[in-house]
Amino acid sequence: MSTLNLTLKIWRQRSAKEKGSLETHKMDNVSTDMSFLEMLDILNDKLEREGKEPVIFDHDCREGICGMCSLFINGKPHGPERATTTCQLHMRSFKDGETITIEPWRSSAFPVVRDLMVDRSAFDRIIQAGGYTSAKTGSAPEANIIPVPKENADLAMDAATCIGCGACVASCKNASASLFTSAKVSHLALLPQGQVERTERAINMVNQMDEEGFGHCTNEGECEAACPKEITVENIARMNREFIKASAVSRG
């Protein structure tokens, strides 16, 4: 184990209505075995002992699966490591003497709640618009009645691994939520269980995405590079096909 001396520039903002700014903190003797959030825990512990308010950030599982953590670290969502959420990022990824800038996700559809915490409820509303099959409890047929080709099941699983963190939106210059939305559209479109509502789902989810104020996708591909779960932009292509097909069907 070795240690690092670091300078942190952290975004502080009381609420969406107030203006924010960067605040500088020195952190000495940071263990390289620490996770990034553990480093922030130590800063907060220090602030609290000084009677100051801690830096607010979202987190929960600290295992890269709940999608609660966020943070724009040195200009990248979830920091420098590929396929790694902020909570799984470890300080061995940084160099001694480095200055680290930490900001919230920036998108008008994700208003800041406090400091680094943002409101991502727009994602929930996109799912509410159609990200389900309408299989009521009790109405399901025997599970093995419909075999699903393994390849489709695996592709559906790949899309379904989205953790809803919002890194795709944060990385996109248009703040588009296409990767997130398309992951759910694809997951269900790839399975026989998702067929009945396929048309409606694509239309409703895409419309909701627009309504929430997310930008349009212009195929920059930044989202794929930023996604901690490596969801691919093929899903966006699939969603676009679904949407076009669906629009044609619903017009006809």
Partner 1 sequence: MALKSNAPDGDIQTAWTRHKFHNLKLVNPANRRKFKIIIVGSGLAGSSAAASLGEMGYNVDCFCVQDSPRRAHSIAAQGGINSSKNYPNDGDSVYRLFYDTVKGGDYRSRERNVYRLAEVSANIIDQCVAQGVPFAREYSGYLANRSFGGAQVSRTFYAKGQTGQQLLLGAYSALSRQIKAGTVTMHTRSEMLDLVKVDGTARGIITRDLKTGKVSRHAGDAVLLCTGGYGNVFYLSTNAMNSNATAAWRCHKKGAFFANPCYTQIHPTCIPVSGDHQSKLTLMSESLRNDGRVWVPKKKGDNRKAREIPENERFYYLEEKYPAFGNLVPRDVASRNAKNAYDDGLGVNGKEQVYLDFADAIKREGEDAIRAKYGNLFDMYQRITGESPYEMPMRIYPAVHYTMGGLWVDYNLQSTIPGLFVLGEANFSDHGANRLGASALMQGLADGYFVAPYTVSGYLGSTTLDKVTTDHPAFQEAEKDVDDKNTKLLSVNGKKSVDDFHRKLGKLMWNHCGMARNEEGLKKLITELAALREDFWKNVAVVGAKEDLNVTLEKAGRVADFIELGELMARDALNRKESCGGHFREESVDTGEFAGEAMRNDEDFAYVSAWEFQGVGNDQTLHKEELEFEHCKPTKRSYK
Binding residues for ligand FES (CB under 6 A): 59-62, 64-69, 85-87, 163
Does residue 139 belong to the site contacting partner 1 (CB under 8 A)? yes
35 binds partner 1, rule: CB under 8 A: yes
Q: Does 153 bind partner 1 (CB under 8 A)?
A: yes
| Least separation in angstroms between CB 245 and partner 1 | 19
**Residues 152/202, Cβ–Cβ less than 8 Å:** no
List the single partner that 3 binds among partner 1, ligand FES, none, CB under 5 to 8 Å by kind.
none
Least Å distance, CB 233 to partner 1, is 20
Quick one: 68 or 112, whose CB is closer to ligand FES?
Answer: 68
Name the 3-class secondary structure at 68. Answer: coil
Residue ranges in 51-110 that form contacts with partner 1 under rule CB under 8 A:
51-54, 56, 58-68, 81, 83-84, 88, 90, 92
Contact between 120 and partner 1 per CB under 8 A: yes
Q: Any idea what the Cα angle at residue 157 is, between residues 153 and 160, rounded to 5°?
A: 135
CB of 137 to partner 1, least distance (A): 4
Interaction with partner 1 in 176-205: which residues (CB under 8 A)? 187-188, 191, 193-194
Who's near 1: CB < 8 A, 6+ residues apart? 31, 32, 33
Query: Which C-beta is closer to partner 1: that of 160 or that of 225?
Result: 160
Radius of gyration of the chain (CA): 20
**Cβ–Cβ under 8 Å, residues 68 and 56:** no
Q: Which is nearer to partner 1, 211 or 218 (CB)?
A: 211
Binding-site size for partner 1 (CB under 8 A) equals: 77
Which residues, 6+ apart, have CB-to-CB distance to 170 below 8 Å? 70, 72, 77, 105, 106, 107, 110, 226
Nearer to ligand FES, 10 or 239 (CB): 10
Asked if residue 114 binds partner 1 (CB under 8 A), the reply is yes
Which residue in 92, 86, 93, 41 sits closest to 66, CA to CA? 86
Provide the 3-class DSSP secondary structure of residue 140. coil
Continuous H helices in 138-233: 150-160, 167-171, 178-189, 198-211, 222-226
Residue 133 contacts which entry, partner 1, ligand FES, none (Cβ below 5-8 A, type-dependent): partner 1
Beta bridge partners of 162: none
Residue number with CB closer to partner 1 (26 or 173): 26
